Amino acid sequence: MLKEPNRARAAEKSSARETLDSLVWALVIFVLVRTFAFQAFQIPSSSMEKTLLPGDFLFVNKLLYGAKLPFTDIRLPGLTHPKPGDIIVFQFPQDPKTDYIKRCVAVAGQTVEVRDKQLYVDGVLKNEAYAIHVDPRTGERQRDFFGPYTVPPGNIFMMGDNRDQSYDSRFWGPVDLKLIRGQAWVTYFSISWDDKAAFPQRLTTIKRIRPERMFRWIR
């Protein structure tokens, strides 16, 4: 029969083991969710204004297009395919370690053209209520005049909603489907800060929390 001190030590070990097991399972679940379901993302620039603002924090839904298996190009079956109008997080083609967020304006086989800032897809002028132009004609052909350009198989064409302040497929080409992270889903937090400051220094420039932008579906 155990003596009282031994019983106490055994109970402490059992409690510590249960706590450790809980932490391990919590970590496993977190990794699985982040890898295959949802991932947090923060908007660093103004290229998606007014749809998304610098300081918006959002979740990316990986289930819709199918999550990639870690360290491979193998993608699990998704629920749907990227389509024009979707806001998508992807690996920047010229630096896959960096994530970008833009709006898909055309998919494989469609022809994109920009005429004096207006977007045409397959020759049809698109009515884009979300797109804004903040500068007069810049004289940059890629920004104000582009194409016509036919999106190749296995790719999508991405543009920022803030067309005059977006570095996008007009400059560096289409995005391979293999580089897609997922679809922007919902904002869960938002703060106003000086987005010209470098991170983490910008954290000291926080002006206010924006509750009106929290828990908003992204369209």
Q: Which residues are catalytic?
A: 47, 102
CB within 8 A of 38, min separation 6: which ones? Answer: 59, 60, 61, 62, 63, 182, 185
Looking up tokens 């929390």 gives 209
Q: Which residues pair with 208 in a beta bridge?
A: 192
The DSSP letter of residue 162 is B
Q: Helix, strand, or coil here: 26?
A: helix
Give 103's Cβ-side CA count (13 Å radius): 23
Element (H, E) at 171: helix 169-172
CA–CA distance, 16 with 21 (Å, rounded to integer): 9
